[in-house]
Amino acid sequence: MSGALDSSGTQADTIALRAAPEVSKPGRGHAEFPCEFGGYRLVGLLGRGGMGAVYEAEQVATDRRVALKMLGQQLDSPDMRQRFLREGRLAAGVNHPNSLYVFGSEEIEGIPLITMEIAGSGTLKDKLKKRGPLPATEAVDAILDAVAGLEAAFEGGVLHRDIKPSNCFVSPDGSVKIGDFGLSVSTLAKDDSLVTATGVIVGTPAYASPEQLRGDELDVRADIYSVGATLFTLLTNRAPFEGDNAVQVVANAVNKKPRPLAELREEVPPGLDRIIARCLAKEPEARYADYATLR
């Protein structure tokens, strides 16, 4: 609880009840960009997350631009390495135009890393920061791309469990790809102790379904909830549930209904408002049963 109540946190962060420390510099020793790192040339930092940092890089042998996700030094334990490499294996099993392609995983200078496609135009969260709420047709097109990627992942036996604007990546052609499978879980495994261990990771409260926040068993309708929450944000530039800290956001998401979309943006078509409301239903049975129906 103390970690979730830390005033430095925000409602958009993934909650880890053991606070994630600052990720070290690339290669745990390099200080400036560009710098050489194994068979790569690191160009710059793309972002940080609960598991580590992501860098833009060039593969020296091929000149291919890639994103390198590195496990944070302070998180480097046998369990965390297993979780990190597991993310790479799950993501590598998803091959679809609307999912960031994962080339593989390896270790360089003792650091576990995942090599993946670089989207090139930031995320939907970046787009919101630059432009504010998106036109309804553009928001719907973005969500349809995300749905296609999530559907492919689910057909491969993977629930994403952390869909939000910052995990939807924009390609130069404007299409959207899902990425960052850090909280993903295989629907084919009977047990996944790394993910379901009590108090380790519960997701992003502003976008996670009530059953996920309660730690209940999940199915595809949990990701459909997050899709609705993401679409709500694309249209309003705010999350469906807010609060002064993460614990308040969790409480609101579990107990309260979101504000009607029409109160925040009058020109949104009523039918779209109804679709989002159904995605955000508290009980999974009241949501869309699958991606085909939602589409």
How many angstroms separate the CA atoms of 160 and 203, rounded?
Answer: 10
Backbone angles phi, psi at 138, to 5 degrees: -70, -40
How many angstroms separate the CA atoms of 66 and 69, rounded?
Answer: 10
Active-site residue identified among 145, 162, 180, 223: 162
How many angstroms separate the CA atoms of 170 and 290, rounded?
Answer: 24
List the structure tokens of 76: 């480097």
User: What is the rounded (10 degree) CA torsion for 11, 12, 15, 21?
Assistant: -110
The full 3-state SS of 1-25, as one line of letters, equals CHHHHCCCCCCCCCEECCCCCCCCC
> Is residue 162 annotated as part of the catalytic site, yes or no?
yes
Q: Which residue has the tokens 């576990």?
A: 112
User: What percentage of the chain's residues is helix, strand, coil (to nearest 5)?
Assistant: 40, 20, 40
How many angstroms separate the CA atoms of 249 and 242, rounded?
Answer: 5
Q: Give the list of residues 6+ apart from residue 215 with CB closer than 8 angstroms, or none.
A: 196, 198, 202
Q: Environment class of residue 285 by beta-carbon count within 10 Å: exposed (0-12), middle (13-18) or buried (19+)?
A: exposed
How many angstroms separate the CA atoms of 175 and 195, rounded?
Answer: 30
Q: What is the DSSP letter of 28?
A: G
Count other Cβ atoms within 10 Å, centred on residue 129: 12
Query: 187 near 158, Cβ under 8 Å?
Result: yes
Catalogue the active-site residues. 162
